[in-house]
Structure 1
Amino acid sequence: MPRLLIVLAALALSACTPLLVQHPLSPPTAFSGPRLEDDAVVSFDGARLGLKHWDPVGEPWAVIVGVHGMNDYSNAFHLAAPWWASQGVATYAYDQRGFGRSPERGVWAGEGLMTEDLRTVTALVRRKFPHAIIAVAGESMGGAVAAVAFASDRPPAADRLILMSPAVWGWKEQPLPNKTLLWFAANFTAGKVYEPPRWLTSKIKPTDNREELIAMGRDPQMIWGARSDALYGLVSLMSDASDAVGRASVPTFYLHGAHDQIIPKAAAYRAAAHLKPADRSANYAKGYHLLMRDHEGPIVWADVLAFIRDPQGPLPSGAPAIPHSPAQGAEIARASGAL
């Protein structure tokens, strides 16, 4: 009987999705159009999204639109952005819906709203800096949102796409017990918040920067735990992102840390294997999931800057590329014990 229940649940996964809580759209009369403010972005529907920006002295030659990861917020860029500013590059990072200072905190917004927000923010940045190179840099979940948006028929108005440890651990790579439990939880306890057990969090290191982890733990804007329907939505987003990698029309840079304990190596390599021949990738031997916050983060910052300046130029780190063919990617993942 338990096996039968698992099989039935697996079949249900392919035919039914849970009813996710939807973010309400603001009334059309509630705002005068999308705009950038000092500490907020007014998006396409009037929603106010939290904003942090770091500007160089004088006009920037490039601007990075920063898209943070799950349960994080725009502060994810607080270490890299000041250095980029010292190099003449501005960073405009916003809090995605449901995170940080943005509306419906803790509630999953869905791909449609999240990608439309990215299009809106990028268009506003393009309007503000018409002569600058515009690059979208997404970390983890933010990388998934960016990958999906750039693969759509309405990609953001940017010149570069940077995927930092993108969340690409979709349904295909999820073990059957994960799929089954998540489906039941999302359907029957959609609003319940689940927090990872301490024994698990003590074993998983998102970064080797202990001081930064402590600061994140004390930051009231961070979210710890997630609703079951949000987790379901995240895995669905990761599935779409895995399929979307390599479909952007702009130069793409895929960054991966060899010590990433959040996104399994097999999933990361499978997605990276779909990059176009002209796209770039880097595999950092000492890197973890939060590459910008690692102790070797400055190496990553410099590589990102070099790619923005010249997508085909050398990377200061000299980090090796991830294989760009599915066969090579699977072979390396298998050799590393990831498959």
Structure 2
Amino acid sequence: MGLALTTAVTASEPGLRLAPEALRQPPEPPTQSFSVHEATPHRLVAPDDTALPLRRWGPAPEAGESPEAVVLGLHGFNDHAGAFVATAAALVPEGIAVYAYDQRGFGATGSRGDWPGTGVLVSDARWALGSLQRRYPDTPIVVMGLSMGAAVATLALDDAPTLHPEAAVLVGPAFWGGSAMPAYQRFALWAAERMAPGLRVSNEWIGIEPSDDPAVLQALEADPRWIGAPTLEAIVGVSDLMDQALRGASGFNGPATLIQYGSADEVIPPAAVCALFRALPDDAPWRAALYPGGYHMLTRYTGAAAVLADIRRFIADPGAVLPSGEGLEPAAARRAVCQSAGG
């Protein structure tokens, strides 16, 4: 049996509901896992009383440990918080605590498979970040978004003056909205939303591989919380989310942000990343790392060690040279990606 869910706040109060017994014996992330999907005793409770499964790894004050930094993880489309186990395995030895929750409509949430809407996802991310700021008022907090989570992260940080993370990491950022799509794809999404929004589309039918590691792909196939056949409504919804994030990129002004992208990404094409890099201001505090042969799931492919080493270094010092040697300033990153996109 799992631990009984007890709370660090009153039963009627939203926020982080953390199981004290689990915190006193913080779990070490398994180093050979690419995802975890067993039940977790922790929850993030939103202001509307929706309880979202929450995972955490690393130092906890209840165990007499103070983290050097705290990462808030936002997972990608069809995925869940267990996607951060490999990241946690790389960061926990550095004294970094990692928190990640199942976003609404995903993982073990009650609305799994339903598209919640961009506004709800963004509101939840803001609430999660604010809750961590209240728990760790004097500790640097880094927001890390994978794919769709990167789009949610940037929208959450836009025009949110009470939120002040130290830095952000956007991994395989999904900013491929209508404004960056070819006309035929925009029409297909429009038609699908109106004619068959409940129809499910198998990821196998699409034929896109997010990683080159067979063990990762096998783990996804065996994961009961991974959504292998999203609805067309969800696909249209995430496209709208990505489009909103892309349109908002021109106003980006921080925090210090590292954007990681792989040249073998089969999910987000170079044209979409080119559009993002062109939209981001040159004088804003962002830079990129472009990984030759890197797949969409950069933290879960055969070259993930270099990606995770860069994340560790960036969290320790956002201005430092990345150990992979793949770091680029805005102008150089824009040239490299847009040339590969043929633009």
Normalising by structure 2, what TM-score?
0.83
Offset, 1:213:
1.0
Find the residue that maps to 2:254 and give its secondary structure: coil
Letter of the structure 2 residue corresponding to residue 179 of structure 1: R
Offset, 1:153:
4.0
Q: Does 1:214 align with 2:218?
A: yes
Most deviating of 82-91 and 302-311: 302-311
CA contact (8 A) 2:151 2:241 kept: yes
Q: Gapped runs of 5+ residues in structure 2?
A: 1-10, 19-40
- The CA distance in 1 between the partners of 2:126 and 2:341, in whole Å, is 38
What does residue 287 of structure 2 align with?
280
CA contact (8 A) 1:118 1:156 kept: no
What does residue 93 of structure 1 align with?
100
- The CA distance in 1 between the partners of 2:204 and 2:146, in whole Å, is 24
CA contact (8 A) 1:51 1:74 kept: yes
Deviation digits for residues 87-136 of structure 1, max 9, x if unmatched? 10000011000000113111111111111111111111112222211000
- The CA distance in 2 between the partners of 1:78 and 1:43, in whole Å, is 23
- The CA distance in 1 between the partners of 2:240 and 2:199, in whole Å, is 18
Q: Does 1:324 align with 2:342?
A: no
Distance 1:89 1:76, change over 3 A: same
What does residue 80 of structure 1 align with?
87
Offset, 1:334:
5.4
Find the residue that maps to 2:289 and give its secondary structure: strand
What does residue 181 of structure 1 align with?
188
Q: Gapped runs of 5+ residues in structure 1?
A: 1-29
After superposition, residues 112-191 of structure 1 pair within 5 angstroms as 112-154=119-161, 156-191=163-198
CA contact (8 A) 2:282 2:330 kept: no
Which of 243, 263, 269 is matched with 2:268 structurally?
263
Offset, 1:228:
1.5
Deviation digits for residues 261-281 of structure 1, max 9, x if unmatched? 100101112212315433221
Normalising by structure 1, what TM-score?
0.84
CA contact (8 A) 1:149 1:156 kept: no
Paired residues, what number?
A: 304
What does residue 33 of structure 1 align with?
14
Offset, 1:194:
2.0
Letter of the structure 2 residue corresponding to residue 127 of structure 1: R
Most deviating of 314-323 and 220-229: 314-323
What does residue 294 of structure 1 align with?
301
CA contact (8 A) 1:39 1:52 kept: yes
What does residue 253 of structure 1 align with?
258
- The CA distance in 2 between the partners of 1:34 and 1:230, in whole Å, is 27
Which of 229, 239, 243 is matched with 2:243 structurally?
239
Offset, 1:197:
4.9
Find the residue that maps to 1:65 and give its secondary structure: strand
What does residue 310 of structure 1 align with?
317
Determine what percentage of the aligned residue pairs are the same residue.
33
- The CA distance in 2 between the partners of 1:281 and 1:44, in whole Å, is 35
Letter of the structure 2 residue corresponding to residue 104 of structure 1: S
Offset, 1:36:
3.0
Offset, 1:337:
4.6
Root-mean-square deviation over aligned CA pairs = 2.0
Which of 48, 52, 56 is matched with 2:55 structurally?
52
CA contact (8 A) 1:164 1:256 kept: yes
- The CA distance in 1 between the partners of 2:337 and 2:291, in whole Å, is 15
CA contact (8 A) 2:42 2:53 kept: yes
Distance 1:279 1:335, change over 3 A: closer
What does residue 109 of structure 1 align with?
116
Letter of the structure 2 residue corresponding to residue 51 of structure 1: L
